[in-house]
Structure 1
Amino acid sequence: MVSTFPNPASVDLSRIRLSIRSLQPQLVEWRRRLHQQPELGFQEKLTAEFVSQKLQEWGIEHQTGIAHTGIVATIQGNKLPDSHLATPFDYAQDKLTASRLPNPQVLAIRADMDALPIQELNEVPYKSQHDGVMHACGHDGHTAIALGTAYYLQQHRQDFSGVVKIIFQPAEESPGGAKPMIEAGVLKNPDVEAIIGLHLWNNLPLGTVGVRAGALMAAVECFNCTILGKGGHGALPHQTVDSVVVAAQVVNALQTIVARNINPIDSAVVTVGELHAGTKRNVIADTARMSATVRYFNPSLKGFFNQRVEQIIAGICQSHGANYDLEYWSLYPPVINDIKIAELVRSVAEEVVETPVGIVPECQTMAAEDMSFFLEEVPGCYFFLGSANPAKDLAYPHHHPRFDFDETALAMGVEIFVRCVEKYFVLCH
């Protein structure tokens, strides 16, 4: 399948309007500045200051300090919604006309701003200046694309009739900034009716868009478990309860949840990523500690894994005379795209990238995203924008210390967002 994708070097940019292509140098400049000053979740002070400065410079109304460092910008179109009233007007000036119009439609665009605790290994002029922190997932690009979209829409308000809210969100990587922003009311006043967002995606080459209705990204749940046995001498196991043996059986048994308890048509995975026990080869450890993640697409599975994981751990511990301490929590629900909004994005993407190979519907991933919280509140679509270019050595995976992407994708992202805005408000009316 990968061989059918276009060569990034041959990507046709003629479908990007000239006014957006002319923004490309600025998009690159903004992205690289953000890349040099990466900040962890809820600490994005420099990033937020930069975003706010630009929005203020362009005369865009916005609120800052939402969920610590989040920002919401509001841009009001001044095109009359009725097709027979083609003359643009200024809502702020023409109060009488505005009062006779129905409540405007509201579309939100979401971009995340945070970085990761990774030491960057790239040797580029825009390398991270913050030791041990790096934009290794493309969020600097997401912020630049959202800024470019805000700038363009502000300059072309005559082209759409509704309201666009652009949400600059902190802490996607962890512990999650979407939920506190929602709780702070970012989807209210005026009420958001639909939301879109993108993720630059090095699992797809430049010139492709991954979009599909339904489940795109997985729910993620986590647990920590400590097996409490009885330590002793390695030569006298009958005097002990070997926590390592118990933990080993638990790790193996947990794999039966997906293999034997989940419908084979549903995708799910249980991964024990950490297992720590013991201090010396001839000492039987009294405790063994493990940490794991659980991922699935089907929302109906919420609550199932929690129950089944504990049943397995409890049963194995009881059979060996061990005890356990289990901490289990849900991090993010699955990313579920609305059928109609996904179709809107797909139709727009077809106008921007070459088809049919440019559109990739089979783009699901077990990675998780807290965009899912927004999609639980309002219909929307989250999609992947291909950003890898092996010819330029820009194909390292996300969260790798040498992650980088082809910046040509920045203008493509703005074009897709802008066209979604224009088309959404036409379809709404």
Structure 2
Amino acid sequence: MRLESIAEKWLSERYPDMVRWRRHLHQHPELSFREKDTSHWIASRLEEMGCEVRRNVGGHGLIATIKGALPGPVVALRADIDALPIQDEKECEYASKVPGVMHACGHDGHTAAMLAVAGFYHHNRELLAGERRLLFQPAEEVTPGGAIEMIKDGALDGVDVIYGVHLWTPLPYGKAATRPGPFMSSADEFVIEIEGKGGHGGLPHGTIDAIVAGSALVQGVQSIVSRNVNPLHPAVVTIGSFQAGTTNNVIAERCQLKGTVRAFDEGTRFMIHDRLEAFVTHTCEMYGAKYEYHMRIGYPPVVNDETEARRFFNVAGPIFGAEQAVEAEAITVAEDFSYYLNQKPGVFMFVGAGNPEAGAIYSHHHPKFDIDERAMLHSARLLVGMAEGYASDSIGRQ
């Protein structure tokens, strides 16, 4: 008997457990790089199932390993476990009990679904071909992220392919989506400090106005995307913060600008970095101002493997319905799943979790964020389907 044929019934019977697990995690969130209790709780559930668990992988990460009775590939599946520094404003029995911290992005649902997947594979390991390596990753929300540290600690050693799912409220419950190639953008952050020479508002000739220099810079960098980036390669440069001055008749000596750079390929990404620094240098020199420029490198773009993206449509069609498994638009949001895809073939997928009737109408990172919990079952079935689809093809090629 094939694992895919029994997954739907087995996982459906564990759906109440998924809800219970998810709600426990939702009530007890922990921030990135601080997931000590969360990690211990997950490991305890895995060990209760009988899974082999490796703790403290790349920090508070976990790896659950299920080895099958039959020869086959090593397939990795990933869930993230960290929460966000946001006050939970939902009125429900499972609202966060930790002031100022909540699962506002669905990672609790990712973890609960992956626990069910772990139980499924352990219970059915006599039918399993190869190894399923389940990664419970910390610190997705904060750079440098947890993925890169787990990789350094051996999470991908010997892995043939990797899959990840994000429960996504902008996508209605009952749908799933991904796309081949570039799917999610990089996200890098910069800070520019400009120092001029302050003075009286009525005597501008003796000053170097930091606001004027900063304003010229804001205007100038708008031409980077419009005149330096290939129009077929999407990119965004945003200056989201401009702070300067104290009152109406004093010319500001200092100003600070903060912003982000987002792109879908590494060539465009680092070309923008170079052009931005050049604009800062030349603009400040033109006005006679001093400056400090800091670029914080974030996550690379998420680029899905073409073959594995095609597999998604073959697998998701029977689970969701052919018309409900759709090709996603590229999105300028970053994810450190990109580090795994830089090392191994795989695909990152969205599973619809939005539903007005379930109160799942708020965007990710909103203080009233919630999901349609039934999406966890879809997520678990999709991960198993992708893994077993790959295993079948891999064995068939031998």
Picking from 155, 168, 186, the partner of 1:186 is 155
Matched-pair contact (CA < 8 Å) for 2:262–2:269: no
Q: 2:353 & 2:84 partners in 1: Cα distance?
A: 19
Could you say which residue in structure 2 is the equivalent of 1:151? 119
Picking from 352, 355, 375, the partner of 1:409 is 375
Deviation larger for 314-323 or 168-177: 314-323
Report how many aligned residue pairs link the two structures: 390
Q: 1:29 & 1:350 partners in 2: Cα distance?
A: 28
Could you say which residue in structure 2 is the equivalent of 1:382? 348
Matched-pair contact (CA < 8 Å) for 1:24–1:411: yes
1:204 aligns to what SS in structure 2?
Answer: strand
Matched-pair contact (CA < 8 Å) for 1:232–1:284: yes
Q: 1:165 & 1:42 partners in 2: Cα distance?
A: 22
1:299 shift after superposition: 2.4
2:61 matches 1:64? no
2:322 aligns to what SS in structure 1?
Answer: coil
Given the two structures, how large is their TM-score scaled by the length of structure 2?
Answer: 0.95
1:331 aligns to what SS in structure 2?
Answer: strand
Amino acid of the residue matched to residue 25 of structure 2? L
Matched-pair contact (CA < 8 Å) for 2:7–2:384: no
1:400 aligns to what SS in structure 2?
Answer: coil
* Unaligned residue ranges in structure 2 (runs of 5+): 1-5
**Correspondences of 1:46-85 after superposition (within 5 Å):** 46-80=37-71
1:251 shift after superposition: 1.1
Deviations 1:397-419 (A, max 9, x none): 00000100100101111111111
**Correspondences of 1:132-143 after superposition (within 5 Å):** 132-143=100-111
Could you say which residue in structure 2 is the equivalent of 1:370? 336
1:16 shift after superposition: 7.4
2:187 aligns to what SS in structure 1?
Answer: strand
**Correspondences of 1:267-416 after superposition (within 5 Å):** 267-356=234-323, 358-416=324-382
Deviations 1:140-166 (A, max 9, x none): 011111111111111111332111110
Greater fraction helix? 2
Deviations 1:326-348 (A, max 9, x none): 01131110000001111222211
Deviations 1:5-28 (A, max 9, x none): xxxxxxxxxx97222111111000
Amino acid of the residue matched to residue 121 of structure 1? E
Could you say which residue in structure 1 is the equivalent of 2:3? none
Matched-pair contact (CA < 8 Å) for 1:160–1:425: no
Matched-pair contact (CA < 8 Å) for 2:168–2:352: yes
2:164 aligns to what SS in structure 1?
Answer: strand
1:427 aligns to what SS in structure 2?
Answer: helix
**Correspondences of 1:164-175 after superposition (within 5 Å):** 164-175=132-143
Could you say which residue in structure 2 is the equivalent of 1:122? 90
Given the two structures, how large is their TM-score scaled by the length of structure 1?
Answer: 0.89
1:360 shift after superposition: 2.1
Q: 2:111 & 2:101 partners in 1: Cα distance?
A: 17
**Cα RMSD after superposing both structures:** 1.4
Amino acid of the residue matched to residue 297 of structure 1? F
Deviations 1:117-159 (A, max 9, x none): 0001101100001100010000001111111111111111133
